[in-house]
Amino acid sequence: MKRLSEVSRREFMTLSAAGLTLANSTQLFAVSQKEAVSAKTPPPVSPDQALHDLLEGNARFVKGQPTSPRRSPEDFRALAEAQYPHAVIVACADSRVAPEILFDVGVGDIFVVRIAGNVIGGAGATVKGSIEYAIAELNVPLIVVLGHSGCGAVKAAMKHIDVKDSLPGAINGLVELIKPAVAQSHGLPGDVLDNAIRKNVELGVERLKQLQPIVAPRVKEGKLKVVGAVYDLRTGTVTEL
Ligand SMILES: [Zn+2]
């Protein structure tokens, strides 16, 4: 089996052409061309372009027409030396929220941090350090804080809003971090759970935008965008907040 570095340019172009035959959308065509131009160091992507690509991928997923790109052994091998993801996705650990699938992207495309309740504020060095690593070392231009409908962690925070130490182990400490979102969404019109889920995402986005010393300056310079979104388990749709 050849490594990508051993594949000749002609073979690479042939592979790309085969990819194009399979591709039936202009967006995919653009991606394949980009790959053909620079297999090793792809050109940087703007925050808006990265967000646009994710939402287009989600639209394909919702329509039941995913292209499921970059998932072959060759794609994995090509990335063995380096990665160039276009977005950090901070998503819930929930088994139904699978970022690569719902955004219809492939290996190396997104840098995913998953934690129950997609908690950021108070989550500590492991979560913030993971996000900061992607920004500082990999120059990722976009962070998406992705909540989802029916989130069990947010439900637990609502249920135990007035009770401390009501959940076993470290679950209680995790749920405590979501309670501010529940409290701040109290009294808003609409569904109480949906409101708390949205507020939890919004608080995460705000926290990240102010996170020093890596994230906040880049946001201010326009090199990095932080957005919130909610994934609907029933429809598969990701809605930007
Ligand atoms: Zn959840």
State pLDDT tens for residues 162-179: 887 789 999 999 999 999
Please give the average per-residue pLDDT across 210-221, as a whole number.
98
pLDDT tens-place string over residues 123-157:
999 999 999 999 999 999 999 999 999 999 999 99
Lowest-pLDDT range of 37-51, 139-153, 187-201: 37-51
**What radius of gyration do the chain's Cα atoms show?**
19
Find the 89 Cα to ligand 1 centroid distance in Å. 14
Q: Structural domain boundaries of the chain?
A: 1-43, 45-240
Find the 132 Cα to ligand 1 centroid distance in Å. 22
- The sign of the dihedral angle between the CA atoms of 60, 61, 63, 67 is positive
- The sign of the dihedral angle between the CA atoms of 214, 215, 217, 223 is positive
Tokens in use for 102? 């719902």
Tokens in use for 125? 């060095």
Find the 37 Cα to ligand 1 centroid distance in Å. 39
Question: For residues 139 and 102, is the Cβ–Cβ distance under 8 A?
Answer: no
**pLDDT on residue 41:** 79
Find the 83 Cα to ligand 1 centroid distance in Å. 27
| Distance in angstroms (rounded) separating the CA atoms of residues 133 and 234 | 33
Find the 121 Cα to ligand 1 centroid distance in Å. 16
Find the 84 Cα to ligand 1 centroid distance in Å. 27
**pLDDT on residue 40:** 66
Find the 198 Cα to ligand 1 centroid distance in Å. 12
Nearest C-alpha neighbor of 41 from the set 76, 10, 82, 88: 82
Tokens in use for 104? 């219809």
Residue 227, phi then psi, degrees to nearest 5 = -130, 155
Mean pLDDT, the chain, whole residue set: 87
Please give the average per-residue pLDDT across 223-237, as a whole number.
98
Under CATH, which number does the domain 45-240 receive?
3.40.1050.10
